[in-house]
Amino acid sequence: MDILVTGTVLGGTYALIALGLTLQYGVARIMNLANGENLVLACFTTFWLFSTYAVSPLLGIAIIAPAAFALNWLIYRFAMRPLVERAKNRGQLEVDSILATFGLMFIFQGVMLLAFGGGYYTYNFLNTPVEILGANYGLNRLVTLAAAAIIALALWLFLYFTRYGTAIRAVAVDPVAAGLVAIDVPRASAFAFALGGAVTAAAGSMLSTFYTFNASMGVIFTMKALIIVIMGGVGDVRGAVLAALLLGIAETAVATLVDPGLTLAATYALFIIVLLFRPQGIFGRSPA
Amino acid sequence: MTALLSVHNARKVFGGLVAVNDVSFDVSRGELVGLIGPNGSGKTTMLNLITGALKPTSGTIMLDGTVLSSRPAHFIARQGVARTFQLVRVLPSLSAIENVVAGAVFGHARHWGADAYALAEDLLHRVGLGGRADAPIASMTYIDQKRLELARALASDPRLLLLDEWLAGLNPSELKIGISLIADLRDEGRTIVMVEHVMDAIRSLCDRCVVMSSGTKIADGNVTEVLTQKDVVAAYLGGEDA
Amino acid sequence: MNAFTARELRTAVIGAAALAAAALIPLADDGYYLSLAVNIALYAVLCTAWTLFSGPTHYISLATAAFFGIGTYTVGLGIDTLPFPLLLAIAAIAGGLIAGLVGVATLRLSGVYFVIFTLGLAELVRQIVTWLQTNFTNAVGLYVFTDFTEAHIFWMLLGLAALVYVTGWLINRSRLGFAMRIIGNDETVARHAGIDVARSKVILFMISGAFIGITGAVLAPRFAYVEPPSAFNPLISFQVVIMALLGGTSRLWAPLLGVIPFTILFDQVSAHFPNHTSLMIGIAFMAVVYVLPRGVTGLVEDLVRTRGSGRPATVAERAQP
């Protein structure tokens, strides 16, 4: 039971990062390997706002998510668009965007190391225990889970029940055809990339309330998010959420029952199973 | 004598679309069979099933007793099935002769080194590209690239040659050259299946043709007879398929 | 194509002369410059081995640190019981084997899956090694005491470099090398020409992994004390990618043009501005993507072509991944 709750909280955070990534990769076609740094940057900003100006992390999201949206819009506009335009095929765009976002990843990391150093950070927020079915959980974790659920739900409603959300899904399916039906593909791509960054940053704000973070941990989160995106099927909101919860629970189970040092092994075990048996994702249709 | 290629109830479904609907036909050794039908009738899908580019949903495809269906494309190529592509596919960073050697090294007949180069040189002559072994691919005209692709397919000495609209997009004089090239191949005893829209070519080259419409085989037999058949005419001139 | 061409002969002579000249370095200096030379030789071997696979396939492998660490660990575990040359062989086999497993799981699929899988591979192996050691042995670290000096390590690396170059040259002349060129142009054509595409990629990745494994083994005596975080340092993977791409991947010797300047620069930056190394790697990645998409070699080729023919160089012609 303990594993289920802790795992679900972790999975909820993973789900948001993965949703951010799936928007960026599924719609804008950019495999953003700097997404984890985006998350860590939000952790630090939340911490900084909280410790310097006593801004509650919940309020912090309202500042950080729009800021991340703007930052990622700029990144897409000035760093990624040129790559999209020069790419002769999807494969080349993939290689270029992977390399460029590696560059971003190191630059973000470098800047954060200079600003905050390499140490581990943590702070106290809503760290009061709440009893559920006989076990105690930090209130901050439960608030995180609730916030993750609200954000994921809002994203789903936006994508499936609004006009612009439908346009974005159309771009995800086929950018050329979407362009033919008068959807502004470059704009939709930029929007999806920026939105993905904002969702990930929101996840970072929440994560920082209960997780010890440091400047160089982004890459592990990126990797887990990527694995979740693949497990869930690229661009699939339901799949990403389910895969994230699965991964969160599997990791917590391994950490509790076997060894906390083997969480990545659990991630990889799931990843390998997916690669070998369902490379198109849990809900993905089998390839034609 | 048994057939060289035998397609039995081949079926391919994409999502809800049945692209090839339980199609069966045989091709004997030395035969040149035309595979025709309107656009979207499943001809290229059929070729892709034979060559292993796609796996059939059900059905069996055999080459001289060996089951090809559901085997990987490279296995099928090594069994002696060579193809050209509907949209010509040359290897741009290789020289012309290397493009042909590519067909000779890994396929049904395996050559290497000077041997492969000598063979490729011969084939370049054969398809009318003699003396252009080192020509840059990018500067080649469309028909020359098609010739190159044919030479690459022939380099493996295939038991079955599949031509996917090899004559499409050629101008009238090129078409004449192309048709006589295929006629030569037929006369030397190659087994060929050609997907084609150019009816003159089908009439002058093929002994037999198989007609597909909406994924189903609607006719199979002597070319002149088949082409006057009612449902074939209907399929082409706008029956339910258009 | 079976006999040596004059050009190949010339390259071989120049290469051998360069190696012989480099072999004299330890006689001139055994301090800072030798240590720098070891680093250059190290990355030259790693980057060339990386390029053997990633050059023709365009798959970006970040598995270098994993293979390297496995090689280092092989020596750490066996140095007291087995002769060193045997350990090198075991390291090669272990590196090749892990590469084979990774390859079989991912190389059938698109390049993205491969990158993601290799991204965390070093970390995964580190976790497993740490776990095994803490649960089944007493200590997490291992001591590697040998009589090897820095000069010995340098000479071994030079020998290894020669071996990698010869292997690369042999591959290029072989059916496998020809198959890779076709795959690099058009995988569909390759398949229909009878090439087992996935198998070719796995074999090449195994060769590359084996060399990286040996390199890790050769370097083990330099570390003296081997522990998981240092042996499986993921930064090595990124440095190898950046140096190889900086030099270029179209020729066997091209990565060298990235390795030499980058190693020297990195050495200077980490000595004087130790907090700026991440930033430097980040900027180097950006430079490779936006300024030098075909590396230094590509730039040189374009210049030569412009000078030689008097017409502008053609737009960067990057083969399709």
Q: What is the pLDDT of residue B239?
A: 53
**Residue A137: is its pLDDT beyond 80?**
no
> What's this model's pTM, rounded to 2 decimal places?
0.88
Q: Which tokens in the block code for residue C256?
A: 């060298």
Q: How large is the average pLDDT for residues C251-259?
A: 88
| Long-range residue pairs from C127-136, CB within 8 A, at least 24 positions apart, any chain | C127/A261, C127/A262, C127/A263, C127/A264, C127/A265, C128/A262, C128/A265, C129/C69, C129/C73, C129/C228, C129/C231, C129/C232, C130/A261, C130/C228, C131/A259, C131/A261, C131/A262, C131/A265, C133/C228, C134/A261, C135/A259
Q: How far is CA A80 from CA A31, A72, A85, C180, C278, in A?
A: 10, 10, 9, 30, 21
**Chain B within 8 Å of C313 (Cβ-Cβ)?**
no
The secondary structure element, H or E, covering residue C32 is: helix C32-57
Tracing tokens 């950080």 back to the chain, one arrives at: A64
Q: Taking Cα atoms as reference points, which of C198, C233, C203 lies closest to residue C67?
A: C233
Is C18 part of a structural domain of the chain?
yes
Q: How large is the average pLDDT for residues A130-134?
A: 69
Dist. CA A60–CA B141, nearest whole Å: 62
**Residue C244: is its pLDDT beyond 80?**
yes
Query: Into how many domains does chain C fold?
Result: 1
Dist. CA B10–CA A276, nearest whole Å: 27
Query: Into how many domains does chain A fold?
Result: 1
Q: What is the pLDDT of residue A285?
A: 52
Is C261 part of a structural domain of the chain?
no
**Residue A286: is its pLDDT beyond 50?**
no
Is B1-80+159-242 CATH 3.30.465.10? no
The secondary structure element, H or E, covering residue B222 is: strand B216-222
Cβ separation B94–C181 shorter than 8 A: yes
Q: Taking Cα atoms as reference points, which of C211, C169, C157, C222 lies closest to residue C19?
A: C157
Sequence-ordered list of residues with C-beta below 8 angstroms from that of A174, at least 6 positions apart, any chain:
none
Distance from CA of A171 to the nearest CA of C (A): 20
Is C226 part of a structural domain of the chain?
yes
Phi, psi (rounded to 5 degrees) for B25: -165, 160
**Residue C144: is its pLDDT beyond 90?**
no
pLDDT-based confidence at residue C307 (cuts at 50, 70, 90): low
Q: What range defines the domain where residue A58 resides?
A: 2-277
Cβ separation A109–C282 shorter than 8 A: yes
Q: What DSSP designation does A78 have? A: I
Q: B20 and B54 in contact (C-beta within 8 Å)?
A: no
The full set of domain ranges for chain B reads: 1-80+159-242, 92-158
Q: Which tokens in the block code for residue B44?
A: 């290229």
Distance from CA of B135 to the nearest CA of A (A): 24
Dist. CA B51–CA B12, nearest whole Å: 14
Residues of B in contact with A285 (CB under 8 A): 15
Q: B72 and B52 in contact (C-beta within 8 Å)?
A: yes
Q: Which tokens in the block code for residue B157?
A: 């000495």
Q: B82 and B104 in contact (C-beta within 8 Å)?
A: no
The answer to which of A53-67, A169-183, B153-167, B225-239 has the lowest mean pLDDT is B225-239
Q: Which tokens in the block code for residue B155?
A: 């380099």
Is A283 part of a structural domain of the chain?
no
Q: What range defines the domain where residue C212 resides?
A: 6-237
Measured in whole angstroms, the distance separating CA A276 from the mean position of its chain's CA atoms is 24
pLDDT-based confidence at residue B242 (cuts at 50, 70, 90): very low
Q: What is the CATH number of the domain that holds A199?
A: 1.10.3470
- C234 burial level (CB within 10 Å; 0-12, 13-18, 19+): buried
Is A287 part of a structural domain of the chain?
no
Sign (positive/negative) of CA torsion C241, C247, C251, C252?
negative
Q: How large is the average pLDDT for residues C93-105?
A: 93
The ipTM of this complex is: 0.90
Helices (H) and strands (E) in chain A, counts: 12, 2
Dist. CA C228–CA C68, nearest whole Å: 12
Sign (positive/negative) of CA torsion C38, C44, C47, C48?
negative
Mutation target for B interface from C175, C192, C251: give the one with most B CBs within 10 A. C192
Burial A132-142 (b: 16+ CB within 10 A, else e): eeeeebbebbb
Is C161 part of a structural domain of the chain?
yes
Q: A207 and A213 in contact (C-beta within 8 Å)?
A: yes
Cβ separation C2–B73 shorter than 8 A: no
Closest Cβ–Cβ partner in C281, C285, C321 for A95: C321
Tracing tokens 């950018």 back to the chain, one arrives at: A175
